[in-house]
């Protein structure tokens, strides 16, 4: 709070900082806010002021076979990639937290590296290697690479959750006669579940928004929503793009709300006296 005896300079600093931050937040939010209303525009321009309200663009994308196929493809590729990333990433994160061997730091860095290698390189490289063995232009190839891109996020979130995890609980379960599998499912998994779910949501977000690898690796039959949007923006940007964008924004908002809910729940569980 600003004290009543603050000097003019301090006042200027206090309000200046808040105005600047308000502008930064506006800058961050403006694109998200501006696109949704235009998807209800009555004419075919992406311009304000809008000429009238209409649902024609939603009708258009739901009627269009290309958009339907793209949506379907996204609904095939992203969940599969997420599942793969979670199934492989969660045990690996547990292993990394518990195992101790020379070169562990290096291995961790390598497992995280899909996050930082430029996606163009990943796209070109996987196309180069997958094309001769028939994995380019296939769902399997696309799912594999999308999963690889999502794995680092699963590892980092699960590792973060495991840092507050008491491994004595697993020992206690074992001493009470639980075999390792039972202990994993009854003790470890429920406790790290929020981390696993947020990791999965991150992986899903990455895959659902992935366009560069898809551009190189997917054939026309595997075109996903982002790829279709990429083509749309490039060729002819119309309110139909805004309609798809609105649907995608609603999806990402839902994911964000779920994540935030998980995070708060995790914090509550950690803070509550045990």
Is 18 a binding residue for other proteins by CB under 8 A? The answer is: yes
* Helical spans, DSSP H, in 39-64: 56-63
Stretch that binds other proteins, among 56-64, 65-73, 141-149, 191-199 (CB under 8 A): 141-149
CB of 16 to other proteins, least distance (A): 9
Q: What are phi and psi of 53, to 5 degrees?
A: -95, 135
Structure tokens that stand for 29 in this block: 């939010």
Does residue 45 sit in helix, strand or coil?
coil
Tell me how far apart the alpha carbons of residues 197 and 74 are, in angstroms, rounded to a whole number: 19
Selected binder of other proteins within 194, 195, 199, 226 (CB under 8 A): 226
Selected binder of other proteins within 150, 194, 195, 205 (CB under 8 A): 205
CB of 6 to other proteins, least distance (A): 10
Give the angle subtended at the CA of 196 by the CAs of 209 and 213, to the nearest 5°. Answer: 25
Selected binder of other proteins within 61, 77, 94, 162 (CB under 8 A): 94
Nearer to other proteins, 20 or 55 (CB): 20
Q: Which residues are paired to 53 by β-bridges?
A: 41
Tell me how far apart the alpha carbons of residues 169 and 268 are, in angstroms, rounded to a whole number: 19
Cα 186 off chain centre by: 28
Selected binder of other proteins within 70, 111, 158, 262 (CB under 8 A): 111
Does residue 53 sit in helix, strand or coil?
strand
Of 165, 169, 199, 198, nearest to 186 (Cα)?
Answer: 169
Structure tokens that stand for 223 in this block: 């075109």
Is 211 a binding residue for other proteins by CB under 8 A? The answer is: yes
Selected binder of other proteins within 122, 173, 191, 262 (CB under 8 A): 122
Is 216 a binding residue for other proteins by CB under 8 A? The answer is: yes
Selected binder of other proteins within 43, 169, 260, 261 (CB under 8 A): 260
Site string for other proteins, 31-60 (x = CB under 8 A): xx-xx--x-------xxx------------
Is 147 a binding residue for other proteins by CB under 8 A? The answer is: yes
Selected binder of other proteins within 2, 12, 29, 75 (CB under 8 A): 29
Residues 56-75 that bind other proteins (CB under 8 A): none
Size of the site for other proteins (CB under 8 A): 85
Is 270 a binding residue for other proteins by CB under 8 A? The answer is: no
Tell me how far apart the alpha carbons of residues 234 and 250 are, in angstroms, rounded to a whole number: 23
Is 134 a binding residue for other proteins by CB under 8 A? The answer is: no
Of 75, 76, 32, 68, nearest to 240 (Cα)?
Answer: 68
Is 117 a binding residue for other proteins by CB under 8 A? The answer is: yes
Q: Omega of the bond prior to 49 within 30 degrees of 0, cis?
A: yes
The count of C-alpha atoms lying within 13 angstroms of the C-alpha of 10, restricted to the half-sphere facing its C-beta, is 7
Is 193 a binding residue for other proteins by CB under 8 A? The answer is: no
Is 197 a binding residue for other proteins by CB under 8 A? The answer is: no
């Amino acid at each position: 709070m600003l004290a009543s005896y603050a000097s003019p300079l301090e006042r200027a600093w206090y309000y200046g900082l808040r105005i600047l931050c308000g502008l930064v937040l506006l800058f961050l939010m403006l694109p998200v806010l501006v696109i949704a209303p235009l998807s209800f525009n009555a004419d075919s321009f992406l311009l304000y002021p809008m000429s009238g309200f209409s649902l024609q663009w939603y009708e258009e994308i739901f009627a269009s076979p290309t958009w339907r196929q793209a949506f379907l493809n996204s609904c095939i590729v992203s969940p599969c990639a997420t599942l793969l990333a979670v199934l492989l990433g969660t045990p690996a994160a547990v292993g990394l937290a518990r195992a101790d061997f020379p070169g562990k730091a290096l291995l961790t860095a390598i497992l995280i590296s899909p996050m930082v290698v430029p996606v163009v390189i990943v796209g070109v490289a996987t196309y180069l290697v997958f094309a001769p063995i028939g994995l380019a232009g296939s769902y399997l190839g696309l799912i594999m690479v999308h999963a690889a891109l999502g794995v680092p996020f699963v590892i980092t979130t699960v590792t973060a959750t495991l840092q507050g995890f008491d491994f004595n609980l697993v020992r206690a379960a074992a001493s009470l006669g639980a075999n390792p599998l039972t202990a994993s499912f009854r003790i470890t998994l429920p406790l790290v579940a929020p981390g696993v779910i947020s990791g999965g949501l991150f992986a899903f977000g990455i895959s659902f928004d992935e366009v560069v690898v898809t551009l190189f690796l997917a054939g026309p039959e595997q075109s996903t929503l982002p790829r279709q949007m990429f083509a749309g923006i490039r060729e002819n940007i119309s309110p139909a793009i805004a309609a798809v964008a609105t649907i995608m924004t609603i999806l990402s908002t839902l994911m964000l709300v779920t994540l935030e809910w998980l995070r708060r729940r995790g914090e509550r569980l950690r803070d509550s006296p045990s």
